[in-house]
A and B are shown apart, each in its own frame.
Chain A
Amino acid sequence: MTKIGLEIHVALNTKTKLFCKDSTESNSPNTSVCPICLGYPGSKPQLNKKAIDLAIKAALMLNCKVRTKFWFDRKIYFYPDLAKNFQITQHEATIGYDGHFSIRNKEIRIREIHLEEDPAKIVYTGSIENSKYVLLDYNRSGVPLIEIVTEPDFSNSNEVAIFLRKLIRYLEYLDLFNSSREGAIRCDVNVSIEGGERVEVKNVSGIENIKRAIDYEILRQTTLLNKGEKIKRETRHFDETLGITIGLRSKETEEDYGYIYEPDIPIIKINEEKIEKLKNEVGELPDQRKERLVLQYKINNELATAIVSERDLADLFEYCCKEINDYQFVAKWIGNYLKKSLNWNNIKFSQSKVTKEKFLEFLKDIKNNKINEREAKELIKTFVDSGEIVRVESSKEDIQKVISEFYDEISPSLNEKGINHIIGKILKKINYKADPKELKKLIEKIKEEKSK
């Protein structure tokens, strides 16, 4: 039997770093740095309270128990990416513990979740094994991370991928993680198969690579066992280019870290009211909300999934449904057209300039035929971008000019279908900026004239 456990590192979506005031966003290397995140002598950590709130929310999301009293520890090891050669993390009293998160019909137990600082980013100039030197980017040094540790409850890489996708979806829904900013999720993966010791593959980045690393490890370990060889307990590295894992020479075991309490950060106490408040802020989770939307508004699963991809989008949907009782119509416009438009611009609804009120007006205008659907589909693109409906009606002259181009096609024998066909072509030419009913009148007028 194969057992897989994960240690998942997720960068929390905060504006500033965990122990200093530097921004978590930066354009060029080593620009968002200060004495604290560079580990200068005399600097002291200054805890970002927002990160604590977000970490507690993540713990609640994972059905963890939340500690009302916790602290930080120093994990000491020498590595070039660690500014102080120790990492401020949580070893003993983690923020959350004893949780679970389910995928399909399986429940994955969460051992614990804790908050820690990210080390600097190492840029290898070759492979990890033969780099002559490395480059360090301290912009990442001190970014708040949560580490989620699961029990070894996965049996294959597929389950892991499903779990991670759901995890990311949930974290994004709660605004705890921003995948467009942080990029891939990072994992340490523990793989053991029956009859062998546990092997840890460190720091694998992105779901695809995590899957590949697990599949490779299972294959490697099975092959070894079949050959009658032993699988020793070790730490390995995943080479993305080759798609294989490589044993690392240095092995750090738990005992070597020499943890002590972090003396610069007093014990943190969280009261029950605070936890209740955060619980309320977490509220209904995406899958629950999706199920409710399907039942309550009788919309299909696909649209509901798109609508709950972002909390603000789901809020928008329910807001509009209060005023427009054609739920299918609202769902189509939000779950399909608006969502596509947001994806096209690579932004979230919350990042767009569109307000709930304006969007509702927009939908009402479509519903009341003030804007025809085809034009609306064009308008929504700029709406997402600018926050305004920029509607330019074509002038009478322009319309006349375009119609005249189709003059020959409008024969006296033209039927309804033929007229609509021409209307469609005209609309396309003028970017749908005309009322089709008006066009029809104009075309029929020409038809009449011709038949005289």
Chain B
Amino acid sequence: MKIKEFLEKDAKTRKEIVEKAFEEAEKIQEEYSPFITLNKFDGKIEEGKLKGIPVSFKDSICTKGIRTTAGSKILMNYVPPFDAHVVEKIKENGGKILGKTAMDEFGFGSFCINTFIIPKNAYDKERVSGGSSGGAATLTAKMSYPHIAIAESTGGSITTPASFNGVYGLTPTYGRVSRYGLIDYSNSLDKIGIMSKEIFGIALGLEIIAGKDPRDMTSANVPVASYSKIGKPNKKLKIGVIKNTEKYTRKEIFSEMMNKLQKNNDILEIHDVEMNTLDYALYSYYIIAMAEASTNLSKYCGLRYGLQKEIEGNYNEYFSKIRAEGFGDEAKRRIIIGTFVRMAGYKDKYYEKALKVRTLVINEFSEKFKDFDLLVLPSTPNIAPKFKEVERIEPIEAYKFDILTIPPNLAGLPHLTIPIGKLENMPIGMQAIANKFEEEKLISFGYIFEND
């Protein structure tokens, strides 16, 4: 059922639909495990822009009174005392919390396997859902009733799983949506975004959650457009296809993307572009993300909240025991690397240099947007891998899988992944990147390919 259709129903019918949606979520959970925590429907249907639409939240987003683990054992039984800004906004608009979706621990992963509940791909249970917002993507693909997923991306955690599961995924401009109540992975890169089966769901969700919030000093004071009223573009869009991403991508994916674009050349003016900084973005990203993550994770020490144990030994011995037990391997790896790159003697070589590279990436994008409305590239280098394939993968290879999603994330630019078909019966996608705060263009662009 389409969202617009649902919104037109009377309250009684909507209530019945929402009840069914919660039941459906339970069934999906049994088969695909997209949830860490499933919520119960309270039976109340409010008005507002959502009128009762079930909304799922990635488990790194704090929900008052509902367990929030960020996919980590260290927060296994943590129940936040406050709602994140986005949760408040969804509630104010009559959205119903469907549950908390599975993710790689603190967002550390590209396949959603670095955690205790591992969701399966909506198209093939042998395959990964994608990381880190894997639960959100699988759920979005499987829900037949109206549903919007609130997810989060640091380096590709919306695009990758959305693309693997054939749904839309929008990562807004850094600062477009308040991060208040988002459990930090890397504060200068974290962006709360949306997944939906429909472009309209993306637009509606963004309209609700975007805007300045004094509780997040990095949230931007830029007016929020009526995204839900936008349609297809009313003038020709100038598109730059990032040509040098071709070498990282499976041939069939790249050519299918070109096909889809060419088919719409009545409304798209298509050019090839090269991005010189592309190859360096990956390294810059991982250094910054790990440096920040290693500091964010220091607060988990077995005091006040989270995993706690019998207090034995001194403080150092106590928190070391908690952290040794509470963090998974990938979290430990990132703490170690992240701590290393910011230590005196190495900081200039890694952390400071990575920040300079980020500036170069941002500058190159700005240059490009003087000439183009949107830049387009494939969403992922390949289709979703099988669980048994990723088991063998070395961490560095796994990091390299993010090569296509990292550039816009590192630059804090808004980007949208759009499903463009299938390869070996698995969904594939392309992403469009817009200039800062030009989410409208992405939404218009998305409508071109809906039902295409």
Contact = CB atoms under 8 A, between A and B. Distances in A.
Interface of A: 35, 38-47, 74, 76, 78-80, 83-86, 133, 254-256, 258-261, 263-266
B82 A265 contact: no
B339 A258 contact: yes
B295 to A, nearest CB: 5
B301 to A, nearest CB: 6
Given A35-B82, A40-B80, A85-B298, A266 B218 contact: yes
27 contacts: A40-B81, A41-B75, A41-B78, A41-B305, A42-B68, A42-B80, A42-B184, A43-B82, A44-B179, A44-B216, A74-B295, A76-B294, A76-B298, A79-B315, A84-B298, A85-B301, A254-B344, A255-B344, A255-B345, A256-B343, A256-B344, A258-B295, A258-B342, A258-B347, A260-B291, A263-B187, A265-B217
B214 interface: yes
B301 A78 contact: yes
Interface of B: 61-62, 68, 70, 75, 78, 80-82, 84, 179-184, 186-188, 214-218, 291-292, 294-295, 298-299, 301, 303-306, 311, 315-316, 319, 339, 342-345, 347, 351, 355
Contacts of A264: 187, 216-218
Contacts of A42: 61-62, 68, 80, 82, 84, 180-184
Contacts of A85: 298-299, 301
A79 B314 CA distance: 11
The B interface is mostly helix, strand or loop, or mixed, namely: loop
A80 B311 CA distance: 13
A84 B182 CA distance: 15
Contacts of A43: 82, 180-181
Nearest to A253: B344
Contacts of B316: 78
Contacts of B315: 78-80
Given A39-B299, A44-B216, A76-B295, A260 B319 contact: no
A254 B292 CA distance: 19
B217 A47 contact: yes
A78 B182 contact: no
Contacts of B344: 254-256, 258
Contacts of B188: 263
B75 to A, nearest CB: 7
B182 to A, nearest CB: 6
B183 A41 contact: yes
A260 B351 CA distance: 8
Given A35-B81, A41-B305, A42-B80, 6 more contacts: A42-B61, A43-B180, A256-B344, A258-B339, A263-B187, A265-B217
Contacts of B339: 258
A237 to B, nearest CB: 16
A41 B301 contact: no
A41 B298 contact: no
A137 to B, nearest CB: 13
A141 to B, nearest CB: 11
A364 B54 CA distance: 75
Given A41-B78, A78-B301, A80-B303, A260 B342 contact: yes
Nearest to A138: B304
Contacts of B304: 38-40, 83
Contact of B62 (A41, A263, A266): A41
B313 to A, nearest CB: 12
A75 to B, nearest CB: 10
A40 B79 CA distance: 11
A438 to B, nearest CB: 66
A256 B347 CA distance: 12
B429 to A, nearest CB: 29
Contacts of B216: 44, 264
Contacts of A35: 81-82
B20 to A, nearest CB: 32
A86 B300 CA distance: 11
A46 B85 CA distance: 14
A264 B292 CA distance: 11
Nearest to A74: B295
A40 B303 contact: no
A83 B305 CA distance: 11
Contact of B292 (A39, A84, A255, A263): A263
Contacts of A76: 294-295, 298
Given A46-B217, A78-B298, A266-B217, A40 B179 contact: no
A261 B188 CA distance: 10
Contacts of A46: 214-215, 217
Contacts of B343: 255-256, 258
A41 B181 CA distance: 7
A133 B299 CA distance: 20
Nearest to B78: A41
Residue from A38, A44, A256 having most chain B Cβ neighbours under 10 A: A44
Nearest to B182: A42
Contacts of B179: 44
A334 B292 CA distance: 56
A76 B340 CA distance: 13
